[in-house]
């Protein structure tokens, strides 16, 4: 019966952590319970409820994510090819910036795809929680790709502002802008819907990124309109505006990836977990509740206070009921470790956690 630092002796509600839902990975974390092989460990740290179903759901989430990424790569790849041809013919730097951004967005499907494939691998003795964190690392690659596209678009727009150049084939530029908007919006809807369904923060962030790309594609229309009216600077000015929009997307995406890497979760989920544990008959109080994302699955640790007169079998049953309540309350939770504690029984009973005190300093 081990656990993280927690309160004993009375019920104690802990402040929940920071938000982030968005939601990435897979996991065979239920193996943690099986690692506690002997009877006492098994009794007070029960294994996961119905693990096979939860693992199957995580794997299906990865498969759905892969299908969405393949769809995104195809649509944005086609959109980028059309825009690249027209950008080369017309000399529009605004369209070039949009094309580079769409190409970068299409290529982000590759690291995410690798992460989803890695996440389907079983946990090992070295990677005991599996490979779900690869999805978070893929989010870092996405952020770097957005940063690179903003740098390229900004450089080209500034260079064209200093060295003006006429834009030709304005009708084709306008058509390419509309194609960029349509392709990005189609991909954005698919990514956001799938990401929210499977709990992938990286996929949701990438979908929001694609949606912003769609509106920057529409901005190319302004550059084409200004050029048609004889304003030569319209195209590079719009290119700079597109660069600014990309930077805003970069800021939001970086914040979401940072939160995921720092194990941020939605405080509402922590509150709901505390309430669910407190409502289990026989639970006298709730101690620390911790959650973390690994890929697009959640894992939790919780401490509950029970009657000190319970037998090991009764305490085990209560811990399983508490875990079961968590599984039905917190979406995408695939494993939970429940630590059983009890209030002081009076007299000269030694503190059972005293042996751990020097480890907690």
* Rounded Cα distance, 175 and 182, in Å: 11
**What is the pLDDT at residue 250?**
84
Same domain, 291 and 206: no
> How many domains does the structure of the chain reveal?
2
The domain that holds 270 is classified in CATH as 3.30.70.1350
Boundary of a domain, candidates 237, 261, 285: 261
pLDDT digits (tens, 9 = 90+) for 143-160: 887 788 778 778 877 877
**What is the pLDDT at residue 270?**
96
* Rounded Cα distance, 283 and 177, in Å: 60
Q: Which of 119, 23, 44 is nearest to 340 (CA)?
A: 44
Same domain, 44 and 74: no
| 26 domain residue, yes or no | no
CA distances, 213 to each of 100, 149, 179, 281, 339 (Å): 11, 11, 12, 52, 47
Same domain, 98 and 218: yes
Q: At 120, give phi and psi (nearest 5°).
A: -85, -10
| 355 domain residue, yes or no | no
**What is the pLDDT at residue 321?**
96
Same domain, 220 and 336: no
| 65 domain residue, yes or no | yes
Same domain, 82 and 216: yes
**What is the pLDDT at residue 360?**
65
Boundary of a domain, candidates 261, 283, 305: 261
Same domain, 99 and 71: yes
Decide: helix, strand or coil at residue 187. helix
Same domain, 224 and 110: yes
| 8 domain residue, yes or no | no
Same domain, 281 and 299: yes
**What is the pLDDT at residue 283?**
96
pTM for this predicted structure: 0.66
Same domain, 124 and 108: yes
| 177 domain residue, yes or no | yes
| 9 domain residue, yes or no | no
Of 30-39, 42-51, 209-218, 348-357, highest mean pLDDT: 209-218
**Percent of the chain whose pLDDT exceeds 70:** 80
Same domain, 81 and 165: yes
pLDDT digits (tens, 9 = 90+) for 18-55: 333 333 233 323 322 332 333 333 333 333 344 444 44
Same domain, 139 and 106: yes
Helix-strand-coil percent breakdown of the chain, rounded to 5?
A: 65, 10, 30
The domain that holds 66 is classified in CATH as 1.20.1510.10
Q: Domain of residue 121: give its range.
A: 59-261
Same domain, 253 and 306: no
| 11 domain residue, yes or no | no
């Amino acid at each position: 019966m081990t656990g993280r630092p927690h309160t004993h002796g009375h019920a104690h509600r802990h402040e929940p952590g920071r938000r982030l839902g968005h939601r990435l990975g897979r996991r065979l974390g239920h193996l943690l319970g099986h690692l506690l092989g002997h009877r006492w460990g098994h009794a007070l740290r029960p294994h996961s409820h119905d693990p096979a179903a939860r693992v199957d759901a995580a794997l299906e989430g990865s498969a759905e994510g892969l299908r969405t990424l393949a769809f995104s790569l195809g649509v944005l790849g086609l959109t980028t090819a059309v825009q690249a041809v027209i950008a080369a013919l017309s000399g529009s730097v605004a369209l070039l910036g949009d094309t580079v951004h769409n190409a970068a967005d299409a290529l982000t499907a590759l690291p995410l795809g690798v992460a989803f494939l890695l996440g389907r691998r079983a946990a090992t003795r070295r990677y005991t929680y599996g490979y779900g964190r690869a999805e978070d690392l893929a989010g870092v690659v996405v952020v770097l790709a957005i940063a690179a596209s903003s740098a390229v678009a900004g450089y080209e727009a500034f260079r064209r502002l200093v060295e003006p150049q006429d834009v030709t084939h304005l009708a084709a530029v306008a058509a390419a802008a509309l194609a960029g908007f349509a392709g990005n919006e189609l991909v954005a809807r698919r990514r956001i819907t799938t990401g929210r369904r499977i709990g992938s923060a990286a996929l949701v962030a990438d979908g929001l990124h694609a949606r912003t790309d769609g509106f920057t594609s529409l901005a190319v229309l302004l550059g084409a309109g200004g050029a048609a009216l004889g304003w030569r600077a319209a195209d590079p000015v719009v290119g700079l505006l597109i660069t600014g929009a990309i930077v805003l997307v970069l800021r939001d995406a970086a914040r979401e990836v940072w939160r995921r890497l720092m194990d941020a979760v939605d405080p509402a989920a922590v509150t709901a977990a505390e309430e669910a544990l407190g409502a289990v008959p026989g639970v006298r109080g709730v101690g620390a509740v911790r959650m973390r994302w690994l890929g697009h699955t959640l894992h939790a640790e919780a401490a509950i206070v029970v009657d000190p007169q319970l037998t090991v079998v009764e305490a085990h049953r209560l811990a399983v009921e508490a875990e079961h309540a968590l599984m039905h309350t917190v979406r995408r939770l695939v494993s939970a470790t429940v630590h059983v504690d009890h209030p002081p029984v009076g007299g000269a009973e030694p503190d059972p956690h005293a042996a751990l005190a020097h480890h907690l300093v």
